[in-house]
Copies of this chain bind each other. A is one copy, B any other.
Amino acid sequence: MSLACATCPVRDRAACSVLSEADRDTLSKSGRHVDLKRGDTLFHAGDEGNACATLLTGALKVTRIDSEGNERILALIHPAGFIGELFRPFSDYDVVALGESRLCLFGRGDMENALDQHPALARALLRRAQEDLHASRELLAMAGKNSAEEKIATLIMALAQAASDSPCHPAQRFELPLTRGEIANLLGVTIETVSRQLSKLEKTGVIVKNGSRGIEIVDPARLRFMSDLSS
């Protein structure tokens, strides 16, 4: 079952884009597509990590259950992202779809073989891993901000950026891939605080809410000022 790399929505950005046409076709023979809907689990914490995947469309969350039984969201995965701990016997996290998502799934062994045969692929994955690390540190910086207002503003900017097709400026209107509870969890605040902050942003004319998930950014400058990103 060969994959249609030619029509892949992330063919220019995913790790496999560094391979030649021929090599990519070879690798594609060992992969397959997987479709998930919101709430579907791709990997369970504790499973043996014998698969990895590239996200084509949709969004995923990486979570862990802490000792009190609370879910903690530790990362978001966007299209072209790579998931899979190649070097641990077990995966440490749950990976769950936040919406309709399509992935390109590979067996661990196949991927490891491909890594050995194609140094360029190893470098591409290394690059991805460093980008993930960067993203995680961004998240850490966001979680460390003192006020809830700052956290929410920063997250909205980041999600608007991710929802945009242009890498340079954020989408003006978009749908939050996360519920209030997930936002709260990610930022380390409560649902009520998230809800209040969003209401305040709407009342002060910075955003407009469309239903519970839709966001329209009315005053990007002020939003950016509130989040004051250096990056």
Contacts and interface: CB of A to CB of B under 8 A. Distances in A.
Interface of A: 62, 64-68, 72, 74-75, 85-88, 92-93, 115-116, 119, 122-123, 125-127, 129-130, 132-134, 136-137, 139-141, 143-146, 185, 188, 228-231
A184 to B, nearest CB: 10
Contacts of A75: 137
Nearest to A144: B188
Contacts of A129: 126, 129-130, 133
CB-based closest 4 A-B pairs? A129-B129, A144-B188, A122-B122, A136-B136
Contacts of A130: 85-88, 129
A139 B188 CA distance: 13
A119 B229 CA distance: 38
Contacts of A66: 141, 228, 230
Given A68-B228, A115-B119, A122-B123, A139 B140 contact: yes
A129 B137 CA distance: 13
Contacts of A67: 228-230
Contacts of A122: 115, 119, 122-123, 126
Contact of A134 (B92, B119, B141, B231): B92
